[in-house]
Amino acid sequence: MLKDIAATAHGVIADFDRTLSRVWHNGKMCETCHGIMDNSALMPPFYRQEANRLLGKYYPIEIDPKMTEEEKIPYMLEWYGQIHNLIVKCRVSQGSLEDMVSASNVKLREGTEKLMNELHTTNVPVLVFSAGMGDILEQVLKHFNVYTNNVKVVSNFFRYDDKGVMVGFKDDLIHMFNKNENAIHSSDYFDKLRGRNNIILMGDSLGDTKMAVGVPQPSCILKIGFLNDKVEERLEKYMKNFDIVLIDDQTMDVASSIVDLMK
Ligand code: TMP
Ligand code: MG
């Protein structure tokens, strides 16, 4: 498969939270897109408290190795519904997002900047496909200087009023387990992939394996899975669904070495 992937034309599809972004750094958990807002001093205390309560309730369901995806989806919809309503109540200003990101402890996986620079200079289209929040994710990519013109973000984006106050979300909800249904939002990315049938896909959730559903066939898709927690309970399923499984690896070394092979 590597030989096929190393053929001339290729593309990259990457999840964001806990895939491009690190899980921990110096012994401390790093923030996700939602975490940046959930812990921001710019958000009101009622929001921070409730968002963290919801995370404590629903994240264990998201990663529960014993539940099926079908069983999890109603809980995920409940989680997004509640958190989205809560964010709207906070009247977040568009201008505050950059400050929230700068004040957070979000970090990209070690070597992500190098990999993204390499993909930019070699003109490889990169799709960042996230069930997080697009407006925050874009700020993170800008913060780390990797939001170049070969990168397309598909995620949940905010709707603003004419004063730049967030009043809701655009388009259909993307959650962890419907990444296959949302390929429509990224059709121009998938158009760019015509003739580029060798794809590297990276994710940390089993739902991420479906991110390439819109890729024109026939294609060779190499799936790299970051298994970040509940390792023993989830390893077997990850081994079945991804081609390569990296356990608690906070780097981009494997993807970078594959991209290096393509040169
Ligand atoms: P991803 O698709 O970029 O990984 O983003 C989805 C992650 O967002 C998911 O693994 C859990 C996380 N999340 C939160 O941390 N807080 C929330 O309120 C929600 C809805 C999701
Ligand atoms: Mg993720």
Q: Residue 55: is its pLDDT beyond 60? A: yes
Closest atom, ligand 1, to C-alpha of 18:
4
**96 secondary structure, DSSP code:** G
Q: Residue 105: is its pLDDT beyond 60? A: yes
Indicate the residue type of 144: F
Q: Residue 158: is its pLDDT beyond 90? A: yes
Closest atom, ligand 1, to C-alpha of 203:
4
191: tokens are 């158009």
Q: Residue 234: is its pLDDT beyond 90? A: yes
**Where in the sequence is the domain holding 140, given as residue range(s)?**
2-261
> What average pLDDT does the segment 36-51 reach?
97
Q: How far apart are CA 101 and CA 107, in angstroms?
A: 10
C-alpha to C-alpha distances, 18 to 25, 34, 47, 77, 94, nearest whole angstrom: 12, 12, 23, 20, 24
Pick from 7-11, 29-33, 58-62, 92-96: least confident? 7-11
Rounded mean pLDDT of the chain?
92
Q: How far apart are CA 168 and CA 244, in angstroms?
A: 38
Q: Coil, strand or helix: which one is 69? A: helix
The number of the ligand nearest the C-alpha atom of 52 reads 1
CATH code of the domain in which 45 resides: 3.40.50.1000
Which H or E run contains 226? strand 220-227
* pTM of the predicted protein model: 0.94
Counting the structural domains of the chain, the total is: 1
Q: Residue 8: is its pLDDT beyond 90? A: no
% of the chain with per-residue pLDDT over 90: 82
Is the beta carbon of 55 within 6 A of some atom in ligand 1? yes
Q: How confident is the model at residue 89 (pLDDT cuts 50, 70, 90)?
A: very high
Which H or E run contains 246? strand 244-247
What phi-psi label fits residue 27: left (phi over 0), alpha (psi between -120 and 50 degrees) or beta?
left
Is the beta carbon of 21 within 6 A of some atom in ligand 1? no
Q: What's the pLDDT score for residue 6?
A: 45
Name the maximum alpha-carbon separation found in the chain: 53
Beta strands 158-160; 166-169: pairing state: antiparallel
Q: What's the pLDDT score for residue 198?
A: 87
